Each structure stands twice: as C-alpha cells, then as structure tokens.
Structure 1
Amino acid sequence: MKTQIFIAALFLSGFAFAQEKKSDSVKTQKIEEVVLTKQVFKKQSDRFVYDVAASPVTKGNTTFDLLRQTPLLSTTDDKTLKIVGKNNALIYINGRKTNMDAESVTQFLKNTPAENIQKIEVITVPGSEFQVESSDGIINIILKKKMSDGLNGNMRMSNTQNKYNGSSASFSANYRKDKLGVSANLYGGENIQAQHYVLRNGNNLSSNESTGNIDDPNQYLGGYLNFDYQLTDKSNLALSWNSSANKSYNSTVNLFNTIRSFNEKTNVLDTNYTNSRNKEDARSYNNSVNLNYELKTDSLGSKLNVNAAYLNYKRFQFTDNKTFSADPLGNDTGVIPTQTITQNLPQIINNFSSTVDYIQKFKNDFTIAVGGNFNKTKTDNDTKNNTFKAGEPTEFTPNHFIYDENIYGAYLTLEKKFSDKFSGKIGTRYEITNSIGTSDNAAPEYRKIERNYNNLLPYLSINYAINDKNNISYAFSSRMRRPSFWELNPVRNILTENNYTQNNPFVKASSTYNQELTYMYKSSYFLILNHSYFKDQITQVPLQGYAKSMDGKITEQNVLRYIRTNFGDKQEMSAMLGMNKTFFNQYLTMNFNIGVQHNVNNGSLSIDPTNGDIFLDKKGNQIVYSNNIKSTSILIQTNNTIRLDKKKTWFLGVNYFFVDKQQIELGMLKNLSSLDVSLKKNWNDWTFALNLTDVLRTNIVEIEDYQDNGNYNYVRNDQFRRGGTFSITYNFGNQKVKKVRDIEGASDAIKSRTR
C-alpha cells in the first residue's frame, strides 16, 4: 500500500506543471516541414555511431526503447541489453560508465526520455583504456548539450500485467545555476517475478523429475544525486552518490518431484513422490560514492581525470527448504517434513577504488592516452546451513568465507589519423591480481586459497574508408573475465532434496581473445565477421549420479549438482548482415539483422571441484560430463517503427527476434523468438504508450542434454514474458538546461561483479 501511495503522489504532482504550461501557451504560425538528409548510422574508427537526433524513432520513446531499436543491440528479457556476438553490454554515458547497479541502470534507461539523446555509440571491441572483461562491449550514450540555466525533468508511471501485476514510477530533475549543476533521480516500484520450471535428469536406471512454480515478490527503491561544480574554466569537481534497496520477502518455490530408481530384486523401477517447498526472505542494499576531478590542459582536448570511490554492498538471505512425502497427485502424505534445510546466507562487500587517466592530443591528429587503476575489495560471507531429518537435527555446517582481492592496472594507447581515409589505434593493458580466500570450516587443503597472476592484454584497431560509400575496419583485443563475488562464495542454493546449485571458491580468471572484421556500405548496410576464443571459461556445469565423497560414502539417491567452475575452452564465430534505413519519406524506419553463429565447445568434468566428490552410475562406474559438440545457428532480428500520421504524434512499433537452437555449456538451447508490438501517442509534453511483449508466447527457455554414458538433463523455464505495459511520461521545465557531467565511478568495474 505504501508503494502505491508513493507512486501516485510522485506522478500526480506533474499535473501542476501541465496546467501551468497550458495556460502560457500561445498560437504559432504553421510552417512547412523541411526534410534534411543526414547519415543516421555510420562507422567511426573503433565504434559504430547511431545519430538518433536525426532519426524519426526518437520522439515518444524511452532510452531503453531506443536502445533496443539501435542496430547491433537486442534484448531477450526486457531487462538486459546485448551486442551482437558479445556476452554482455556495459552502459556508458558521455564516455563514462554509469555509476549504478544493474537494476538501477535498467530503471534509469526505462525512465529517461529518448529526446535527451544526441547519439549512441556501440563499441564492439573496446580499447585498452576501457576497464571491461571477457568479450564485453560498450554502449555509450551521448546526451544533448543544453546550455542555459534553469530546471527541467520528467516523471513517468507504468503498470505491467504479465502473470501478476506490477507498477513503477520515477522522477528525475536537472538544475543548473552558473557554475553549479545538480542532477537527481528517484524511482520505486513493486512486482512479482513468476517462473514455471520443468526439470528432468537421470538415465534408464534412475531419474528425477521436478515441476512447479517460483514466485518472487520484489519491492525496490533507489536513486542518485550528483553535484558538479566548475572550479575554473579548465577544471571541474564532481561528487555523486548512488543508492538502491530491494526487498524480496516470502519468495516461494513449490516443486512436485517424481523419483524413479531401478530395483535389482524386482527388476522394475520403484517410484517415490515428494514435494519441495522453499521459502526465502532476502533484502539487499547498494551504496556508492564517487569523487571526480577533471582538468583540461590545452585547447586540443587534452585532459587529466582522477576518480576515488567507495562501494558498500549488503545482501541478507534466509531460506527454509522443506521436503514432504507425497502421493502421485501431488498431495502431502504427512504433516512433518522428511527433511528440512535452513540456510542463512549473508554477503557484505566493501571496495575502495581509484583511477587516473591522462589524454594528450597533438595537432597532427596523434593522441596518447595513459592511466592506471587500483581496486581493493573484501567480501565477508558468514553462512550457516542446518539440516533436520523428520524434525531432528542431523547436520550443522557453518562456513565463514572471507575473500580479499587487490587489482593493480595500467594502460597505454596510441592513436593516429594518418589521412582522411586511414586511421589506427594500438594499446596494451597490464593487470596484477592478488587474492586470498579463507574458510574456517573446510577441509585443510581448502581453507586458504591464494592466487597471484599478471596479465598483459594487447589491443589493435585499423579503420580504412575506401571512399564515401565503403568502409572497412579490423580490431583485435584480449581480455580477462574474473569470477563474480557471488560465484566465489561457497554456498548451495537448494531447489529439491537432490538438486541444487553450488558456487565455487576455486574458480580462476579466464581469458578471452576477440577478433572482428567490419564492412559498411552507404552507412546503411554492414557485414560483421567475429571470432572469440574463451580459455578456461567460467560457467555452470551439471554433474549427476551417485556422489562418492573422499571418505568413501556414497549417496543413496541419484543427485544433480549445477556447479560453477572453469569448464574447458570455447570458440564462437559469427557473420552478421545488417541494415538500418528509412522508407516512404520516413514513415517507416527499419532495423534488420540476419546472421549465422557457429559454436565449438570443448570441456569435460568428472569431479566436484568444491569437495572432491566423484560421480558413479548404478553399477559403480565413474561418470564424466563432457561437452564437445559443435553447433551452427541462425539469428534474425527486426525492429520497425511506423509513423501513422503526418504530424508525428502516432507511432506503431513491430519488433521480432529469432534465435535458432545452439549448443551451450548446459546442453542444446532450443530456439527462442518473440513478437513485440507497441503503440505510442505524443501529446504536447505527454507520451502515452502501450507495449505488448511476446505476443505469440514463444520466448520460453528449453535446454536438453544427452551424454554418451546414458545420462540426460532437461530444463524448461517459462518466465511468463507475454504481457502488456501501459506508461505515461511527462516532461517539464526548461528543456535547455545543460546536463550535469556523468562521471565514471572508480568502483564501477568492481560493482559489475556483485551481480
């Protein structure tokens, strides 16, 4: 109820601005529209540039809507954005990484009007100056420059109906007076994230099937506050604070389990039924503060940039997992659970970070960039696991895991424009990582895990404009992928009595090598060839069978563990053809991509890396999980905006994507697709929008895997993506206010590993 009152009060305050503006309106003389031709999408040196200020799709959209219609970008879950051929996309604003966590970034993008955006840069292979990992790409959002003093902002309210109803609201404002700029944002909402699972695993001698629902209610509140002060004509000082909180109480998992095991005496399969009922209460807090100093050293654009930041992340999670005997219809046959497992899973992360960057530009189109960074992180995970059989305590396994990590980094890049047609960039990053993980309740050989490693990461890019219509470029980079802090925390997330996920403190950093060749024609058509090689890839691997511990004990039933580990090597090769073009005097704007991707997997695992357990079949033979399968798949994506009237007030959006089946680490991922439709109406400073997602209800994850040893594993996850969202957005104030500088927090590279 409090959340609903907050949303209503936040939004209704906008009507006062609307009435004031309406009373001040005056009649204007109508003039004929002049259509200017401008390159909307083009290739520049190491990035693609989408000039959305020249695109007709901007008006009436949010920044998130705009990004999902940007060439090379896509989303399959309406939460995260991906670049074609990349694992992840990092969001930058005006060249600086956003100082917000994942949930706040999503809310920010969904509540920022696209009219504020000048252009979007898609950096598929980031240079050495960027702190990115693995094959991550960068989406750099360039805001329009607004010069005059004053106040402006926007308010937005939305209501979403999927399986359950959810609502959200946001308020943002920008104020500038002389040398001082202030930017603030506040958002909040509530929803219930619903999922339906079907899990099957086993072989012809034993099997386990679990079906049921997961309901995860969330209430969230967050925002940011930024101050930017111009000390002199050449220097600025900025302070930013970001905060978010999430509460997820009474999250439930209800699974009906069918367990079959071969009886050697009767030569038939015995069948048992159980119900797994999980209840979870969790809350998290994320706070960060960043101090930035920038000094311009000459008129060519040379500058010094210094950042210092502190990040504090807390998550408190308590789970209660009960197993009940059941009949074939799914009804409990007893009042007392046969097994109860309670878990207390707190996690606290503290990080101090600093970065220094200096860019020196010369008159002969030559640029040198040099810089460094330091990150000091400590995570504290004091977990407790208690097991009860038939109401009696049988096992207490507390584990206090502390992880300390220091990262030192330095980079150097040289960039030269040799002519109007030819330019190049070369660089390297050197990183030193020292980490110690300690556990007070593990086997002696696992109580202290110390890692020290150095990495030299080169980078190269070349761009050649053959003529006004043809452009070709090549880029190479090497990167690391450090495990997220939650992956290192050695805890189990239990689904059923014999099915759980297991994090792994022994996971080490992996390496990635990326190559990309790009050809662009008339700034509207492009071809991208990409190759990525992943060494010691970090992923989740399913191990199943009868687990035999190091002391010789063997589990009574077939178990399935999804374990985080370094699982061999992998290659990804892709070829993508794309087009971004307007037709019929800008009544139709089309963004179309079609491509093919080839995956080569090469990994095997036979021992649980967290405790040394080996897995046996019913006859006592050791089981090895392997994935040495190649697959080739087709990808299709099209985003279309249709202007329905001459005045540019009504817009129809039709978006569709299709991803063919492909081999991943867990098995064969079946094809995914989604048809989304939207209708928008612009009325003065108001925008009314209705978005329908996954209209055909085809965006459902299915994974199946069959091993040579007879084991199989099947997962079906339905997240009820079909639904509708109605939103109202109102822009108020002086729209010429200059934006506060968006500063990359020194802790941003660390913050991304908390999720």
Structure 2
Amino acid sequence: MKKLIVALSLLSGFFAFAQGTQKTDSTKIQKIEEVVMTKKVFKKESDRFVFDVANSPVAKGSTTFDLLKQTPLVSTTDGKTLRIAGKSNALVFINGRKTNMDTESLDQFLKNTPAENIQKIEVITVPGSEFQVESSDGIINIILKKKMTDGTSGNMRMANSQNKTNSTSASVSLNYRKDKLGISGTLNTSENIEVQSYELRNGSAKASTQSTGTVRDPNKNLGGYINADYQLNDKSNIAFTWNTWANRSYDSRTDLFNTTKSMDAANNSITNYSITKGRENARSYNNSFNLNYEWKIDDLGSKLNANASLLIYRRFQNSTNQTIVSDAFQNPGILSTEIAQNLPQLINNFSANTDYIRKFKNDLTVAVGGNFNTTKTDNDTQYTTTNFLTNDVVQEPNHFIYDENIYGLYLTVEKKLSEKFSGKIGTRYEITNSLGTSDIAQNPEYKSIERNYNNILPYLSFNYAVNDKNNISYAFSSRMRRPSFWELNPVRNILTENNYIQNNPFVKASSVYTNELTYMYKNSYFLILNHSFFKDKITQVPLQRDVVKDGITYQELRYIRTNFGDKQEMSAMLGLQKSYFKGYLSANFNIGVQHNINNGRLSQDPTTGDQFKEFLNNLKSTSLVIQTNNTVQLDKKKTWFLGVNYWYVDQQQIEIGLLKNLMSLDLDLKKVWNEWTFSAGIEDVLKTNIVEIESFQQDGSYNYVKNNEFNQQFKVSIVYNFGNKKVKKVRDIEAASDAIKNRTR
C-alpha cells in the first residue's frame, strides 16, 4: 500500500524549482553539531554556489533540515525532500562525501539532528564527472567546521508536531576524540501516523469511476550510525562506518468509497457503489558497512581515496485489498473480491571505488577514478485473487530476480588559466550489464531480460570573474537515470479493483543533457538560465480502456511505469541573498519562470501487451515560481528570532497532466537561552499545499487526482547541547554503495 500511495504522492514532485518524493525505508545518519550564523555570504565558485554560515546563533537549535530550507536555491514543497532549482532531486553530501541514506532515512535524520557545527553549505547544480550521481540530480554539500581539541561533546533533541495526528521524535548524538582516534554515534527514534485524503476520477463517455477516501499509515522508526576514524600517521587515515535504519508500518489502512458508472449492451447507464478496504503490514531494515582509506600524498592537497561497502536491504510486506458491495449511502453489503499480496524485497550490494586526485603548483588538478557495483535483488511475490460472487480463486506467483553489474571510470582536468578565468573538463565511461528473470507464466517475454550498454558522459564548465563584483559561469553535463529496483519488479500495486499501478521490467535507463549559464553580481544577486533535455524519461503513465464483462462496459485505469518519450525544461531564475537593517533582517528571495515541453505517447501495457486508448502529451506550459525565506532578529541580544517563509509554484504541464498551482506560508519563533533552544512554528498556515492533477485526451477520456497530505502542522522542539564544543569531527566517508542505495526506494 505504501508504495502505491507514495507513487501517487510523487505526482507533486515533477516540477523543478520547488520540490517533492517517494517514501522509502532505510539508513544512515550524519551528525552535525552547533551552527552559528551571523553573516550570510553567498558566492559563486567555478562549479558551485557557496553559502557561508558565520558566527551567529540564528540557526542554533534548528534542525539541519530547517537550515537547508534557508539556503539559497534549496527548497521543499512536501516537507520531506530537498530540491535544487531546476533539479528533480538533491543529493546530500557531508564534507564532500555522499551521505549513506535513501529518502526516508535522510528525511528522518535531517529533521531530528540539530544543525550544529556547519561552516558552509555548497550547492552544486551541475555535478562534474567525478560525482556518481544520476540523471539531473544536484548536490548539497555540507561542510563542517574543523575542531582540534580532544574531548567529548553531544546534544539531545526532543520534538513534537501536530496535524491530523500527533508525531514525536527524539535523538541523541555523541562525539569523542582522543589523540588519533575519533568516534561518533547517533541514535534517532520517531513515531508518526501519516494521514492523506484522495479524490480520484477517471473515465470516458461510456464508463467512469470516482473514488474518495483516506489513507492512514502508522510508522515507527529507529536508526543511527557509528563512525570510527583512526589516523595511521600524518598522511593516512582509516575509517569504518556502520549505518542502520529500521521502519515498521503495521495496520496501514486505505478506505475508499467508489462510484462506478457503466453501460449495458442497450446503452443504458448503470451506477454501482462499492467500498475498498486496504490493509497492510510492512517492515524494512537497511544496514550498510563501509571501510575507507585515505592517503594524503603532498601538501598541495593530492590524495588517494579508496572505499569498500556492503549494503543489505530487507523489506517484508503483506497486504489485502477487499471490494465490498455498497449502496449510495456507503452502507456495506457483501464482500465481492479480495486480493491478497505478499511482496518481499531483498537487496544485496557490494561496491568499491577509488579516486586519485593530483594537484600541481601551476593550479592544475587532475582526478581519475573508478567504481564497481554488483547488486542482486530478489522479489518472491505471491498474489491470490478471490471472487466471492463466483467462488473463483486465482493464484499468480512471480519470483523476479534482478542482477546488475556497473563498471565506471572517470577523468577530470581542472585548470586556473588566469586570475579571472578557470575551467574544468571531464568524462565518465560506464558499462552496465543486467539480467532480470521471472517465473511469471502469463508473459514468456520477460522470463529473461538481459541488457548490456555502454555510456560516455562528458562534462564541461568554466568560470570567468569579470571583476570583484561580476561573475559569469557555464556548465554542460550528461547523465543517466537508471530505474529503481522496485520499478523493474513486474508486480501490481492495487488501489481499487479497476485502478492499480503496474511496474515494468522493460524500463530502460534514460538520459539527461543539461546546459546552465549563471551570472552573479556582488555575491548577492544572481541570474540562472537552464536548459535540460530528457530522453526516454522514466515516469508513470495513466492508461485507460473500456472493459466489457458480462455485457457491461467498465472503465479500467493502469498507471504504467515506462519510458515516456522526451521532455525539455527551460528556466530563468532571478534571486538575491542579502541582509538589511544591520543584520536584523536576512532575506533569501528567488523568482523565475519555467517552460516545459512534453513529447510522449503510449497505448500499450509493455508488461502484458494489452491495448489501451492512446495517452498523448505533447503540451507545453510556462509557469511562475516564487520562493522567499526571511529571518528577523527581534532583540539586540540575538536570543529571539522570527522566521517567515513562503513559496508559490504556478500550474504547469508535467508528464501525466496539468499540475495545478501550489503554495505554502510557514512561520516559526525561536528562543535561545544559554545551551537551550526552544522553537515553535506552524507550516502551511493557509492550507494551500494540496496536489491536484488533471488530464484530458482528444477521445474524451479524463483523469483527475487530488491528494491532501494535511501539510498544516504545529511544531515545538527543545534542544540541549553539552560537552566540549571544540571536539574535532570524525571524518565523514562516502560509501562505495551510495549510488546504489538511492535506487532501493
């Protein structure tokens, strides 16, 4: 159920400037200590924007997630996923190393970890060839302050929030350093019940279906990490990290009331009513282990870095979906059908990567490296469909195994050609070998699906500092987006009897090509022009058809995971990051336009060969995007702060239809008292962050989705910091399996 409902929630995340993602379960935590923030400096370097967090208590007591939302170009619309302007996703790095987490674990970590000890935040909109990222992913790199003194420090945090239900969370973090040994650890726990309401409508002139109701998903989370770093000598270090995360979601409930209009052989309209009851129990475990070795070759910064990682992911899910005959007043009658599913997913991955970075005295840097990933996923799915009206029982087992090997090499050359001009060029070469096997009997075509392909992915950027006030930069990048492992598993996620999502083992990797031009003035004002071309874009497509059963015409809807043609996104953004009134007001403001050009069509379910009415999207849209984050210092002692944040996304055409406009106003108040910080706030004050998507086809068929996640919530938190604040942070290490972990969701 969670995968299904989340898949529909994903519809809110297709736009670029604002934000959105799918819910998953898993892994790591990176500790961030005390943050101080007085003077915000936003500047453009050769391949990234740099947001310096200086010495003021503005962010003290905030979560890392709250601090990142204040960072220029970074935002969120669903309160879960961070987005970068023009990017569909933001990957979080710490000290240049990718955090070893997937979406849900990262969300929990950022919201439960106090934002302490952050020196600066880097926003990389177009990553270079040295980064193992996919598609149009951008990077948020959190740089921690360096501390040299031995000792122990830590913090404790407790938080509570209230929307439809109450949510609680708590965390404790410890850092210890003695001579050459550093150890850090974090333990997080949270409990919440996510409630969503849905209104779903689809149909044609002959038949239609409307479903309204709620989804209630309880979650208990427990996770943390242990990181040990030992300095072998002045030039080399070794580190070991264990990250773990567990999620339990028992008694998830979907309750929908369905109104089905059909037509008999004599063209008479018939209206039937039914109730859908979905029940699910799920739990997941994510453990990853990483061993890192770093050798500093010289005083210029040359170094060798090597990683070996093991990832073990387990998800166990059982669900039932019942259809109950009803009347127009939702009075239940007899049970007509039941679909029982057992949907386990097992993922094992071993990864290794090596990076050699050589710096020369003439401002030349050469980096070369390689990586290897081998992954095996095992999905032993069981379906049992029981029709109580006819006493028919149909069992559909499907054991899907997917093996994948990825080999990668990269080379980058960066050179400062003069005091004003610098450039970087690179390329990544990747080889992918994969084999998917299924014992499903209905479609022999995907009993065995083998794919082997090679890709050359070039990168180019330059930066020209015209003078001390004006800076111009340009970047070009090509990337791939491989399908997530769960997208390839050919199973159905049931919403109602005639409405479900069909995953697709035939989905192939898509490509994206990005051009970006940036102008910055006085390190405060900027203009970003971006063009991205997506080839064979991976998405879900709503296919509809009229189905005749016993002389009655019904409407069937399938959301098909597939490659849906090509898409272009063009955007222009103006922004500023500036302080006013002697620092009493800090403002971060962006305004821009985005132009989408869609070009996709689909009329066949590739997993079954079933024919549907053609779904065509060759529409364009131009939309306005606004985002502003403001912090007001309320007293001279810098102990009271008011936050006023607002964002607006105009309606725009995405792959599956027209996404209507969204906006949110958020307010928060903070009090800093010695080592204690007290915060209270309200998000989505006006209750305007509600997703609506609709599409109309030339044949008269239509599809409409309205999803309310009840984003308005009241939040309070208490943070206490203790110990020696000069503890040197343990080195945060990028695990070799990081690129793979993002695909477990």
TM-score range, shorter chain: over 0.9
Please name the residue that 2:393 is paired with: 394
Please name the residue that 1:726 is paired with: 716
Alignment partner of 1:421 is 2:395: no
Please name the residue that 1:365 is paired with: 363
Please name the residue that 1:576 is paired with: 573
Please name the residue that 2:33 is paired with: none
Query: What is the letter of the counterpart of residue 91 of structure 1?
Result: V
Q: Deviations over 1:587-619 (max 9, x none)?
A: 00000000000000000000001110012xxxx
Please name the residue that 2:446 is paired with: 446
* 1:648 aligned counterpart, secondary structure: coil
Q: Which moved more, 1:38-47 or 1:450-459?
A: 38-47
- Sequence identity, in percent? 70
Distance 1:342 1:393 in 2: 14
Give the conservation status (yes or no) of the 8 Å contact 2:199–2:213: yes
Query: What is the letter of the counterpart of residue 450 of structure 1?
Result: E
Distance 1:226 1:349 in 2: 23
Task: Please report how far the alpha carbon of residue 66 of structure 1 lies from its aligned counterpart in structure 2 after TM superposition.
Answer: 0.9
Distance 2:109 2:233 in 1: 31
Distance 1:197 1:86 in 2: 27
Distance 1:450 1:326 in 2: 47
Q: Output aligned runs, 1:631-646, within 5 Å.
A: 631-646=621-636
Q: Output aligned runs, 1:204-603, within 5 Å.
A: 204-265=205-266, 267-334=267-334, 337-390=335-388, 392-442=391-441, 443-546=443-546, 557-603=554-600
Distance 2:225 2:331 in 1: 49
Aligned length: 708
Query: What is the letter of the counterpart of residue 299 of structure 2?
Result: S
Distance 2:185 2:115 in 1: 18
Distance 2:554 2:579 in 1: 61
Alignment partner of 1:160 is 2:150: no
Query: What is the letter of the counterpart of residue 703 of structure 1?
Result: I
Q: Deviations over 1:422-466 (max 9, x none)?
A: 100000000000000000124222200000000000000000000
Please name the residue that 2:41 is paired with: 40
Q: Deviations over 1:128-170 (max 9, x none)?
A: 0000000100000000111100001111000110100010100
Distance 1:597 1:277, change over 3 A: same
* 1:329 aligned counterpart, secondary structure: coil
Distance 1:613 1:521 in 2: 56
Task: Please report how far the alpha carbon of residue 547 of structure 1 lies from its aligned counterpart in structure 2 after TM superposition.
Answer: 5.5
Q: Output aligned runs, 1:65-104, within 5 Å.
A: 65-104=66-105
Task: Please report how far the alpha carbon of residue 67 of structure 1 lies from its aligned counterpart in structure 2 after TM superposition.
Answer: 0.5
Q: Which moved more, 1:399-408 or 1:63-72?
A: 63-72
Please name the residue that 1:184 is paired with: 185
Alignment partner of 1:698 is 2:688: yes
RMSD between aligned alpha carbons?
A: 1.6
* 1:107 aligned counterpart, secondary structure: helix
Query: What is the letter of the counterpart of residue 428 of structure 1?
Result: T
Distance 2:261 2:108 in 1: 45
User: Where does the alignment leave 5 or more consecutive residues of structure 1 unmatched?
Assistant: 1-35, 616-622
* 1:115 aligned counterpart, secondary structure: coil
Q: Which moved more, 1:37-46 or 1:533-542?
A: 37-46
Q: Deviations over 1:502-560 (max 9, x none)?
A: 11111000000000000000000000000000000000000011369xxx999952110
* 2:106 aligned counterpart, secondary structure: helix
Give the conservation status (yes or no) of the 8 Å contact 2:692–2:705: yes
* 1:65 aligned counterpart, secondary structure: helix
Distance 2:108 2:538 in 1: 28
Please name the residue that 1:201 is paired with: 202
Q: Deviations over 1:345-371 (max 9, x none)?
A: 000000000000000000000000000
Distance 2:659 2:71 in 1: 26
Query: What is the letter of the counterpart of residue 382 of structure 1?
Result: D
Give the conservation status (yes or no) of the 8 Å contact 1:170–1:186: yes
Distance 1:435 1:722 in 2: 44
Query: What is the letter of the counterpart of residue 603 of structure 2?
Result: S
Task: Please report how far the alpha carbon of residue 224 of structure 1 lies from its aligned counterpart in structure 2 after TM superposition.
Answer: 0.3
Distance 2:202 2:553 in 1: 16
Task: Please report how far the alpha carbon of residue 103 of structure 1 lies from its aligned counterpart in structure 2 after TM superposition.
Answer: 2.4
Distance 2:659 2:314 in 1: 34
Q: Deviations over 1:239-268 (max 9, x none)?
A: 000000000000000000000013352x44
Instruction: Answer with 1 or 2: which has the greater Rg.
Output: 1
* 2:116 aligned counterpart, secondary structure: helix
Distance 1:571 1:388 in 2: 45
* 1:506 aligned counterpart, secondary structure: coil
Q: Deviations over 1:385-430 (max 9, x none)?
A: 0000117342100000000000000000000011221100000000
Distance 1:38 1:677, change over 3 A: closer
* 2:332 aligned counterpart, secondary structure: coil
* 1:445 aligned counterpart, secondary structure: helix
* 1:40 aligned counterpart, secondary structure: strand
* 2:445 aligned counterpart, secondary structure: helix
Distance 2:48 2:233 in 1: 32
Distance 2:550 2:357 in 1: 61
Task: Please report how far the alpha carbon of residue 663 of structure 1 lies from its aligned counterpart in structure 2 after TM superposition.
Answer: 0.5
Distance 1:320 1:581, change over 3 A: same
Distance 1:270 1:235, change over 3 A: same
Give the conservation status (yes or no) of the 8 Å contact 1:652–1:678: yes
* 2:77 aligned counterpart, secondary structure: coil
Give the conservation status (yes or no) of the 8 Å contact 2:490–2:505: yes
* 2:554 aligned counterpart, secondary structure: coil
TM-score by length of 1: 0.92
Give the conservation status (yes or no) of the 8 Å contact 1:286–1:312: yes
